[in-house]
Amino acid sequence: MFRQTAILAALLVLVGWTLADGGRQAEGVVTVSAAISLSDALGDVADAYAAAGGGPVRFNFAGSNVLARQIVNGAPVDVFLSADERQMDLVERAGLLQPGSRRIVLENRLALVALPARADAVREAFARAGPAIRRLAMGDPAAVPAGVYAREYLERRGLWRAYAGRIIPTGNVRAALAAVENGSADAAIVYVTDVLPSRASRIVVTIPREQTPAIRYPGALVARRDTAFAAERFLSFLGSDEAGAIFVKHGFLLPSSQAVE
């Protein structure tokens, strides 16, 4: 009887080790390619995820157009968080998204920004494309989501032709903000969320959502990865109340179906 009990105990320990090892494999490092405008918020979200028992997360931040191209070219990514639907469409057309995993995670708004000393002059000049704004920075309007949104907004307001020769296109939205802060541009159109952590720039005009295209951030699982369980767990956490509170703190808007007051 003692021998049978000892064997059973040993088997239970072995099963426990196997399950623990399997859990570690399931919770392998999740690689997330995310729009650079998410970098501050996702750092806090990753801390909350770890505190809630989630596994390790590794981030790759860049312009969404750059990230989409990397994924299509074979970059080892588990989760893609884009700043627009167009770049997610590109990855989906390549057959690289896990079917049914795509969802809208967040929304955002545009803002016109300038240095505090230039804020009044920029505000007065903006609607009439006045000479106080000689150089207007934005993400590349041909490729970077924030720049695409900004161009569409200016076109809707009948201002694109007036500003087209003054545009300083940048590789991502953070670079557009940096152009204002280092004096390379008089103003920039960026996301509201990019300005909030800045100590140098000031929001001159917050652009109403109804005047711009819908600025949505889709997220999805990349299909061919072997860390699907952990990746799905992290993507699901992004829709949790805890993550939502963090995103709102950083100035993002939750999708209307998830919005909380």
| Res 16 pLDDT > 80 | no
Q: What is the mean pLDDT of residues 182-201?
A: 94
Q: pLDDT tens for residues 202-241? A: 999 999 999 999 999 999 999 866 678 999 999 999 999 9
CA angle 61, 258, 204 (to 5 degrees): 60
- What ranges do the domains of the chain cover? 2-107+217-249, 110-211
Quote the CA–CA distance of 137 and 240 in Å, as a whole number.
35
Backbone angles phi and psi of 208, in degrees to 5: -60, 145
- Give the chain's mean pLDDT: 88
| Res 196 pLDDT > 60 | yes
Q: pLDDT tens for residues 117-161? A: 999 999 999 999 999 999 999 999 999 999 999 999 999 999 999
User: What pTM value is reported for the model?
Assistant: 0.84
Q: Does domain 2-107+217-249 have CATH number 3.40.190.10?
A: yes
Q: Compare 5 and 158 and report the one with higher pLDDT.
A: 158
Same fold, 2-107+217-249 and 110-211: yes
Determine what percent of the chain is predicted with pLDDT higher than 70. Answer: 87
Q: What is the pLDDT of residue 199?
A: 86
**CATH H-level superfamily of 110-211:** Periplasmic binding protein-like II (3.40.190.10)
